[in-house]
């Protein structure tokens, strides 16, 4: 049995421009795996969101496609632009937001908030390297935000988070029973 | 998920009118700018020494350079408003700019005329500004409408090309209508008009295109 010929994307798009819904659905179903692969390759997450952005832009821009030209470069340009938008959004969110990690969480349950020997804790904090001690004091004792502490110390937010994480790990090791 | 989106888009699809070829869209925009320039020419009249100016190589280079920048800038903007077109189209108006700047440079090198007070009457200066603003803004409006009809995916190159087209229109009109041959003034008006109009298109045009892109699908 001979294999069914692969649908011609240019012809399907030309039909879709005329309002053929079946051809349009067939075309979009055909390109979907390729778009997902492109998005997955460029983005760690939000892949499906990026694919839907591309589909919506394809829909809004379908009047610009020239059936005498190949379809794939036209769609690839739209895909690149939407993926680049998502990447820029991810960078902006990373800069603006503070991701929660284990050291930022606390629990209401009594056993989680163990009684600490204040003198032992103060001695352990004093024994930390200067950078770790400063990060701990600003973020945990003075309860500054990361942005405020970064502005005061001149360190990056990432450096402060790393210093805080190391300081707490070091205190755990020193104060472990 | 995406499959549900596809089903919805296919169910609600409507026929669309395909975009006209780039040369037709660019030509339409340029015709509007030409109409504005013609209206200004009727109101202001051509420069007094036009026949003498046409014999000057610097004048011809400036006029030709500005005109080429306008035509190829408009064509590049029309091409760049369609996804998948080569970004090399942005190089098209650059050749016109080189000729335009060469014309300005020729005038400065052959006869540098120091700017003296009163060399350009205030009324003439205001008229020059009006020429730049009117032809430039009409051209910018026409180019922006053309870009919005398309779907540029890279807004800055498309807007830059449109801005250069507007600058070329204003520069050509300025050269034909105003006797600004003093070297420093040729530099100031031509380069100033180019920077102003490209800046306006990059600031305002890209914002309008982003608003358009953020709108609902057709």
| Complex-level ipTM | 0.80
Percent of chain A at pLDDT > 70 equals 82
Per-residue confidence (pLDDT) for residue A6, from 0 to 100: 66
Please indicate, yes or no, whether the overall pTM of this predicted structure exceeds 0.80. Answer: no
Confidence band for B216, pLDDT divided at 50, 70 and 90: very low
Give contacts of B 124-153 with A, CB under 8 A: 150-151, 153
Mean pLDDT of B34-61: 82
**pLDDT at residue A2 in the model:** 47
- Compare all CA atoms of chain B with the CA of A14 and give the residue at the minimum distance: B18
Q: What's the CA gap between A50 and A89, in Å, rounded?
A: 11
Q: Span B94-112, mean pLDDT?
A: 75
Interface of A with B in 74-113 (CB under 8 A): 74-78, 80-81
Of B2, B3, B151, the CB nearest to A64: B151
Which is more confident, A76 or B1? A76
Using the predicted structure, report yes or no on whether residue B39 has a pLDDT greater than 50: yes
Residues whose CB is less than 8 angstroms from the CB of residue B23 and which lie 6 or more positions away in sequence, other chains included: B75, B78
pLDDT digits (tens, 9 = 90+) for A144-154: 888 888 888 88
* Chain A CB contacts of B1 below 8 Å: 48
Residue A4 has pLDDT above 70, yes or no: no
Q: What's the pLDDT score for residue A117? A: 65
pLDDT, one tens digit per residue, over B118-158 is 555 666 777 777 787 888 888 888 888 888 889 988 888 99
* Model confidence at A12: pLDDT above 90: yes
Rounded CA gap, A120 and B148, in Å?
68
Q: Report the residue of chain A nearest B148, measured CA to CA.
A: A61
pLDDT surpasses 50 at A79: yes
Q: Does B56 touch chain A (CB under 8 A)?
A: no
CA distance B14 to chain A (A): 5
Q: Is A46 on the interface with B (CB under 8 A)?
A: no
| Residue bearing the bigger pLDDT, A129 or A99 | A129
A34–chain B Cβ distance below 8 A for any pair: no
CA nearest to A31 within chain B: B6
Most confident of A3-12, A165-174, B72-81, B105-114: B72-81
Would you state the pLDDT for residue B73?
Answer: 94
Q: B202 and B160 in contact (C-beta within 8 Å)?
A: yes
* Chain B, nearest residue to A47 by Cα: B2
CB contact under 8 A, A55 and B17: no
Q: Give me the pLDDT at residue B56, please.
A: 82
| pLDDT mean over A19-47 | 92
A64:B19 CB<8 A: yes
Residue B23 clears pLDDT 80, i.e. is over it: yes
Among residues A23, A54, A22, A25, which one has the least CA distance to residue A37? A54
> What is the pLDDT, as a whole number, of residue B118?
54
What is the distance, to the nearest Å, from the Cα of residue A161 to the centroid of all Cα atoms in its chain? Answer: 18
Pick among B5, B10, B147, B216 to test the A interface (most A CBs inside 10 A): B10
Beta-carbon contacts of A31 under 8 Å, excluding residues fewer than 6 positions away, are: A9, A75
Q: Is the CB of residue A48 less than 8 Å away from at least one CB of chain B?
A: yes
3-state secondary structure A24-90: HHHHHHHHHHHHHHHHHHHCCCCHHHHHHHHHHHHHHCHHHCCCCCCHHHHHHHHHHHHHHHHHHHH
Residues in A 114-173 with any Cβ partner in B closer than 8 A: none
Task: Indicate the average pLDDT of chain A.
Answer: 83
**Is the Cβ pair B15, A19 closer than 8 Å?**
yes
Q: Among A13-27, A79-93, B103-117, B198-212, where is mean pLDDT lowest?
A: B103-117
Report angle CA B24, B28, B29 to the nearest 5 degrees: 120
* Confidence at B106, pLDDT banded by 50, 70, 90: low
Average confidence score pLDDT of chain B: 82
Nearest CB neighbour to A61, from listed B2, B151, B154 = B151
pLDDT at B182 over 80: no
Give the Å distances, CA to CA, from A92 to A42, A85, A96, A100: 16, 11, 6, 17
B11 in reach of chain A (CB within 8 A)? yes
């Amino acid at each position: 049995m001979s294999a069914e010929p692969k649908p011609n994307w240019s012809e399907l798009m030309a039909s879709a421009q005329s309002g053929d819904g079946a051809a349009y659905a067939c075309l979009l179903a055909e390109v979907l795996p390729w778009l997902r692969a492109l998005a997955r390759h460029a983005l760690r997450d939000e892949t499906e969101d990026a694919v839907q952005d591309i589909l919506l832009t394809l829909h809004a821009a379908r009047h610009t496609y020239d059936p005498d030209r190949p379809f794939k470069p036209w769609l690839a340009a739209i895909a690149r632009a939407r993926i680049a938008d998502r990447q820029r959004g991810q960078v902006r969110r990373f800069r603006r937001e503070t991701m929660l990690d284990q050291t930022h969480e606390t629990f209401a349950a009594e056993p989680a908030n163990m009684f600490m020997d204040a003198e032992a804790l103060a001695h352990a904090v004093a024994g930390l390297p200067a950078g770790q001690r400063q990060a701990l004091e600003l973020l945990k004792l003075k309860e500054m935000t990361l942005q405020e502490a970064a502005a005061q110390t001149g360190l990056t937010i990432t450096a402060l988070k790393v210093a805080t994480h190391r300081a707490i790990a070091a205190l755990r090791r020193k104060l472990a029973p | 998920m995406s499959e549900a989106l596809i089903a919805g888009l296919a169910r609600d699809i409507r026929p669309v009118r395909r975009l006209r070829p780039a040369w037709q869209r660019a030509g339409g925009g340029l015709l509007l700018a030409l109409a504005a320039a013609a209206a200004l020419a009727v109101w202001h009249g051509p420069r007094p020494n036009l026949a003498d100016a046409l014999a000057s190589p610097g004048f011809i280079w400036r006029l030709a350079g500005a005109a080429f920048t306008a035509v190829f800038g408009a064509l590049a903007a029309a091409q760049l408003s369609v996804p998948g077109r080569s970004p090399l189209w942005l190089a098209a108006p650059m050749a016109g700019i080189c000729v335009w700047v060469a014309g300005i440079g020729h005038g400065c090198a052959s006869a540098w005329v120091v700017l003296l007070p009163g060399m350009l009457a205030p009324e003439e200066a205001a008229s020059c500004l009006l020429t730049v603003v009117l032809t430039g803004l009409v051209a910018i409006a026409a180019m922006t409408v053309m870009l919005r009809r398309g779907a540029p995916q890279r807004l800055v190159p498309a807007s830059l090309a449109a801005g250069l087209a507007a600058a070329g229109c204003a520069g050509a009109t300025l050269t034909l209508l105003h006797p600004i041959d003093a070297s420093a003034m040729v530099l100031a008006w031509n380069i100033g008009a180019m920077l102003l109009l490209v800046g306006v298109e990059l600031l305002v045009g890209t914002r309008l295109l982003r608003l358009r892109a953020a709108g609902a699908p057709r």
